[in-house]
Chains A and B, each alone.
Chain A
């Protein structure tokens, strides 16, 4: 596959060092990076800590401004900022999810969510910040409601996946939850009215053009009508969803997620992929490379096509665990 535009190139700006074990995940604080507020990034690691990095001044290098330690007793696998940027949730192999609040210059652990039987793999806030979802090796997905005073209440425990659930992600506009798993499927969960009754309303598996191996990650574009999933089967797939049908609800709003396109580009398992604001997809894989894809201007009769925008080989020395676009 030829590059669409040979002049586009990925250039490493800075390498952030400090963690003493592999870095599993990253999250940009959504309330930073524009309007004069320096960008803030959180990274979580096998060294059981989370580091906060800030760009100081706004165009300068990133510096580590805080280390969140002595709370998790095992690897911190994933971290996510609340939409307001005030809270940071961290999911750990120690079976807990910690909620941190920024007060003054320090981060304080204000709540600990327990309930998973073993390693928590991922955590995600919904668009309004009123709900939090976690998932783990115990095959379950938990939904928590955020209450005043940093209280969290368990709304539902969802069973359905047959194996380890690798990631959960809320849809960017509708309160529908997506999860992906070692069982090769992506499941879609929605609430029945307002009753706390969450069900799996759709499963994207091999029979609907889904993946044939572990699905590691999923991500939505800004409007939520497209989703990208990345997998151990060496492909990423783009899915389309009918937002209008999703929003009009009813008891079950079946989301016709249809596989649009897939890429057989990878030599190593694809661990992560993410849409940016303009619809460029970045992906990272076990072959140590970062790739960018973009939807092409000429569309085929049966749907949109995608082109490889650029590829950065050996972006890291080992597997790439996470890619995150700065939304500013």
Chain B
């Protein structure tokens, strides 16, 4: 056989021998692009959900802080110095919350701090305000 015939025989066998590899690559490409699309969509859904939850909770605290601050402006003596200081700290935390940077590692610390300060203020003021958004320890019944 001359080299031309040899290479065309090889070519014919090539596609058969590489069948598995070809199909593997095709499958991989299809899966990758499908995954990319559905992953993006799922990411969007998760982001919307988490963003909504975070925004709603921050908004709740913002509302409370604003009401309390108005009360303090109208009647500076209505809350103790400690309560006012805590409200100011909460105000700063809400204002500086990195809304546009969800991957910022401090977000959970800021939220925890806000939650604790909120509970402390409510306990001192003797008001039963509760934010219903996140699940509480008491809800897990065993």
- Residues of A with Cβ closer than 8 Å to B? 113-115, 117-118, 138-139, 142, 145, 152-157, 159, 196
- The answer to whether A142 and B123 touch across the interface, beta carbons within 8 angstroms, is yes
Interface flags, B112-142, vs A, CB<8A=1, else 0: 1000110111111010100000001110000
- The answer to whether A155 and B82 touch across the interface, beta carbons within 8 angstroms, is yes
On chain A, the residues within 8 Å of B122 by CB distance are 115
Q: How far is the CA of A26 from the CA of B116 in the complex (A)?
A: 31
Task: Name B's interface SS.
Answer: helix
Q: Does B16 contact A (CB under 8 A)?
A: no
Number of interface residues, chain B, beta carbon within 8 A: 18
- The answer to whether A117 and B138 touch across the interface, beta carbons within 8 angstroms, is yes
CB distance from A107 to the nearest CB of B (A): 22
On chain B, the residues within 8 Å of A145 by CB distance are 82
Give the contacting residue for A157; candidates B80, B85, B119, B136; CB below 8 A.
Answer: B119
On chain A, the residues within 8 Å of B138 by CB distance are 117-118, 138
Give the contacting residue for A115; candidates B117, B123, B136, B137; CB below 8 A.
Answer: B123
On chain A, the residues within 8 Å of B128 by CB distance are 114
- The answer to whether A154 and B137 touch across the interface, beta carbons within 8 angstroms, is no
Give the contacting residue for A153; candidates B83, B117, B119; CB below 8 A.
Answer: B83
- Given contacts A153-B80, A196-B82, whether A139 and B123 have CB atoms under 8 Å apart is no
- The answer to whether B137 and A118 touch across the interface, beta carbons within 8 angstroms, is yes
- The answer to whether A115 and B119 touch across the interface, beta carbons within 8 angstroms, is yes
A-B contact pairs, 5 of them (CB 8 A): A115-B120, A117-B138, A138-B138, A154-B120, A154-B124
On chain B, the residues within 8 Å of A155 by CB distance are 82, 120
